[in-house]
Homo-oligomer: A and B are copies of this chain.
Amino acid sequence: MAARATTSSYAVLALLSLRSWTGYELTQQAQRSLRYAWPKSERLLYAEPKKLVELGLATVEHEGTGNGTRNVYTITDAGRRALNEWTSTRTQAPRLEIEALLRLLFADHGSREDLLAALDEFEGDIGEHHRAIVELMGTYLDGGHPFPERTHLSVLFATFQIEMFKSFERWLEFARSEIDDWPSTQGLGMTPRTEELTRLLANDQSPLGS
């Protein structure tokens, strides 16, 4: 019966610590920054603040009428305390779901074009994120960002993302050039080239050293 606070609850609670938001605003704000660290569905983002209210960590005020009601959520003192306590709890292991890599692992069931298409889609997806992060940092410079006192945190966050995207893009270039040299997706196995690469990797060296 009594709801439990999950990591997602704390993510929403952390947003509420910045200011009060409506449910809708929370879903939009979560798209702007939270998404890159803690991607959650719009549906959950609507449900979490309700749970926070149930737990006494936030309060609601209903504005408007009938179906056009806006629910404005505000953090409580108990909410701020809970957020403080959360910071010293154990962090969950990262979880990276990259379907393009799954396609790569079993690329021998499809054509070279299928594999290259999966890589293109991956590139498109991360390219979008990449541009969004660069744009976000621009808003800190032109004064358009609502929380400039958080610049020092955003800067480290964005550095992580940009580094990661750049390394993904370097890999994509490398992967495409290797795939170009394959006769097909199937049964290539151990060749002088793949053995060379395997040897590097087993030695913890990246073949992308260039």
Contact = CB atoms under 8 A, between A and B. Distances in A.
Interface of A: 7, 10-11, 14, 17, 33-34, 36-39, 80, 83-84, 86-88, 90-111, 114-115, 117-118, 121-122, 125-126, 130, 133-134, 137-138, 140-141, 148-160, 162-164, 166-168, 170-171, 174-175, 178-179, 182, 187-191, 194-195, 197-199, 201-208
In the A-B complex, the 5 residue pairs with the closest CB atoms:
A87-B110, A37-B101, A149-B189, A152-B188, A14-B106
B87 A107 contact: yes
Given A39-B95, A105-B14, A114-B87, A171 B159 contact: yes
Contacts of A151: 188-191, 194-195, 198
Copy total for this chain: 2
Nearest to A128: B93
